[in-house]
């Protein structure tokens, strides 16, 4: 079973994804190579995780 983590304060998932996408866009212009790549991968992984959880929740509620 997939663990579903609840945020510390309630927030709309769309707002959270928007913030993550903005952060990823900020990282795109960052110049420091290896650190930039690690940070980008972390943000992408979080977006992917949230997408999977949303899909699972939609499937359960259907």
Token pair recorded at residue 42 = 């972390």
The domain total for the chain is 1
Q: Which residues, 6+ apart, have CB-to-CB distance to 28 below 8 Å?
A: 40
pLDDT > 90: percent of the chain: 0
In a domain, 5, yes or no: no
Which three-class secondary structure string do you get for 3-53?
A: CCCCCCCCCCHHHHHHHHHHHHHHHHCCCCHHHHHHHHHHHHHHHHHHHHH
With H, G, I as helix, E, B as strand and everything else as coil, classify residue 2. coil
In a domain, 57, yes or no: yes
Token pair recorded at residue 45 = 């992984």
Quote the pTM value.
0.52
In a domain, 27, yes or no: yes
pLDDT over threshold 60, residue 7: no
Identify the band that residue 49 occupies on the pLDDT scale cut at 50, 70 and 90.
Answer: confident
Identify the band that residue 42 occupies on the pLDDT scale cut at 50, 70 and 90.
Answer: confident
List the domain range (segments joined by +) for residue 20.
Answer: 13-61
pLDDT over threshold 70, residue 23: yes
In a domain, 30, yes or no: yes
What pLDDT, on a 0 to 100 scale, did the predictor assign at position 1?
45
């Amino acid at each position: 079973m997939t663990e579903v983590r609840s945020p510390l304060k309630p927030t709309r998932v769309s707002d959270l994804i928007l913030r993550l996408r903005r952060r990823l866009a900020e990282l795109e212009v960052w110049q420091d190579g290896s650190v930039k790549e690690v940070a980008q991968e972390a943000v992408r992984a979080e977006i992917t995780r949230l997408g999977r959880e949303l899909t699972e929740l939609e499937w359960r509620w259907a």
